[in-house]
Amino acid sequence: MAAAPDRSSVPPTPAAGRRALAAASWDRMVALYGVAGIGPLCLGLQDRYGADVPLLLFLAIADEAGHGLDAAGEQAVVAAAAAWRRASVTPLRALRVALKDLCVTPDELMFRASVKAVELEAERLQVARIAAAFVTAADGTITGGAGAGGLAARRLAALGVPAHEADAALQVIRAGLASLPPRASPDPHDPSSEPQKDPRTSWPTSTA
């Protein structure tokens, strides 16, 4: 019987790398947000410049892996995030915030908690849309190394974040990513190796 091919000796293709990154993006994003200093930084960018936190962190994770996108691919990823955010995440967040000072009774507080849970799920689904768009986008230059893609920097520039503030923010985010365990590399041919959905009770924009 012929020996099974040793897939570990075959370098992953750019497409396989994108699939692996996309499959692990939600878990890595939530872990990154748990690093000290990342939460306040992201919420500050959201409040001052309208930053889409899940999109920004996804792009930072792609940068960390050395991925790049051409202009059309980058636009597709941004559009995938924006459409879902407008239709679901933003209205749910507005409702949750509006209810904060209104909910008093246990039933009302439970209702607001349920809104928060739905908002969290909407954000997870937004990340899934971002990941799907990223997987199908054409790679630009893949040079490797932290921040090689420059996607997060371009997103902050597009939002009008001053260069010195954007540079400082990206340094914090990159340091946060560097503090995490190495990125998992699931076999894209083996669905069982992909991270499973892990329900959580908190996430960047789901603050009280």
Query: In this predicted model, which residue has the larger pLDDT, 17 or 90?
Result: 90
Proportion of the chain in helix, strand, coil states, percent, rounded to 5: 65, 0, 35
| For range 108-133, the mean pLDDT | 95
6 occurs within a structural domain: no
Query: pLDDT over 90 for what percent of the chain?
Result: 60
Non-local (6+) Cβ contacts of 161 within 8 A are 45, 49, 51, 169
Is 55 domain-assigned? yes
Domain membership of residue 201 (yes or no) is no
- Lowest mean pLDDT segment, chosen from 49-63, 90-104, 128-142, 166-180: 128-142
pLDDT given for residue 69 in this prediction:
83
pLDDT band at 18; cut points 50, 70, 90: confident
Summary mean pLDDT of the chain: 82
pTM of the model: 0.80
Concatenated DSSP letters of 155-196:
HHHHTT--HHHHHHHHHHHHHHHHTSPPPP---TT-GGGSPP
Report how far apart the first and last C-alpha atoms of the chain are (Å, whole number).
60
The total of structural domains in the chain comes to 1
Q: What is the pLDDT of residues 92-101, one digit of tens each?
A: 999 999 999 9
* Residue 3 covered by a domain: no
* Mean pLDDT of the region 147-172: 91
Q: Which residue has the higher pLDDT, 197 or 34?
A: 34
Specify whether the CB–CB gap between 29 and 134 falls below 8 A: no
Is the model more confident about 85 or about 148?
85
The closest of 92, 102, 160, 174 to 125, measured between CA atoms, is 92
Q: What's the domain range around 142?
A: 14-184
pLDDT of residue 139: 54
The answer as to whether 207 is a domain residue is no
Mean local confidence (pLDDT), 103-108: 96
Give me the pLDDT at residue 5, please.
55
Judged against a pLDDT cut of 50, whether residue 143 lies above it is answered with no
Is 145 among the domain residues?
Answer: yes
